[in-house]
Amino acid sequence: MSSYVSSLDISFEFFPPSTEAGHEKLMRTRDALAERDPRFFSVTYGAGGSTQARTTQTVQAVRECGIDTAPHLSCIGSDKSTLRQLLADYRQTGIRKLVALRGDLPSGMGVPGELRYANELVEFIREETGDHFEIAVAGYPESHPQAPSFERDLENFVRKVKAGADVAITQYFFNPEAYYHFVERATAMGVEVPIVPGIMPITNYTKLARFSDACGADIPRWIRKQLEAYGDDSESIRAFGEEVISRLCQRLLDDGAPGLHFYTLNQADATLKVLDNLS
């Protein structure tokens, strides 16, 4: 069931590498993924100063291939004048897309800043730059880990979209029902923008388990058990991961998801294999 996917609305997320070797690898990953005609690439942003300059540099390097590249921008730990300057710089260099987030402060570091939540950042971007940027925000089909309840988190999501977002990208999930439920509820509350599923390819169980605990994504028991059983057999983990994620993506697309956003972790192979399996 291998076919080249070109008409699909896809995007790929990268993180800013910290070494020259990491940068070179990212450029190879970008080139391999660029062949799949993505709508955009995006580059994550570290709150609290850890990777902010690297995000800007990485965005400029990634977009040299001619594909729109969206910097992620988080407001926690920042102030309005810093954000204003960053927006002006992005605008001046021709950036048209942003992923707007509250972000997380590294534990024990820094103070929250002038804008407390992503809805305030979206409002600020609109006030400062009008319609210049296409703004994406984050959605959490299984609830944000700090949210007191699903309902409260959904209200906060709706507020953030209504502040001026053009699209939402979800946290990754493995249970499509959680996504359908989230989309249905958000739509019933007046959200009209596309809600694009975030997809995490499975390549390494230990890292996946750690990430998932931190961001509140549920790994269903049957997947967890199977991955645990493979132990150090990374080939079997990858093969099983490819099958699970390909099926998830196919189902989401068949059921009308508006596109797919891949958390690539700067690796091309796992994402390309999933794309090759889609019909």
Q: How far is the CB of 15 from ligand FAD (least distance, A)?
A: 8
Euclidean distance between CA atoms 201 and 126, whole angstroms: 33
The residue within the footprint of ligand FAD, chosen from 77, 113, 197, 198 (CB under 6 A), is 198
Q: How far is the CB of 160 from ligand FAD (least distance, A)?
A: 5
Binding status of residue 150 toward ligand FAD by CB under 6 A: no
Burial environment of residue 165 by CB neighbours within 10 A (0 to 12, 13 to 18, 19 or more): buried
Tell me the C-alpha to C-alpha distance, in Å, between residue 211 and each of 19, 42, 130, 149, 194: 22, 19, 35, 21, 25
Binding status of residue 125 toward ligand FAD by CB under 6 A: no
- Token pair, residue 158, equals 């709706």
Instruction: For residue 153, report the phi and psi dihedrals to the nearest 5 degrees.
Output: -65, -40
The residue within the footprint of ligand FAD, chosen from 38, 103, 197, 259 (CB under 6 A), is 103
The residue within the footprint of ligand FAD, chosen from 49, 60, 91, 117 (CB under 6 A), is 117
The residue within the footprint of ligand FAD, chosen from 9, 104, 134, 218 (CB under 6 A), is 104
For 196-224, give the secondary structure using H, E and C: EEEECCCCCHHHHHHHHHHHCCCCCHHHH
User: Footprint of ligand FAD on residues 1-40 (CB under 6 A)?
Assistant: none
CB–CB of 129/87 below 8 Å? yes
The residue within the footprint of ligand FAD, chosen from 30, 36, 63, 72 (CB under 6 A), is 72
Tell me the C-alpha to C-alpha distance, in Å, between residue 105 and each of 54, 76, 78, 116, 260: 17, 7, 10, 12, 27
Binding status of residue 62 toward ligand FAD by CB under 6 A: no
- With respect to ligand FAD, which residue has the nearer C-beta, 39 or 276? 39
Binding status of residue 118 toward ligand FAD by CB under 6 A: yes
- With respect to ligand FAD, which residue has the nearer C-beta, 51 or 277? 51
Q: Which residues bind ligand FAD (CB under 6 A)?
A: 44-47, 72, 74, 99, 101-104, 117-119, 138, 144, 146-147, 152-153, 156, 159-160, 169, 171, 198
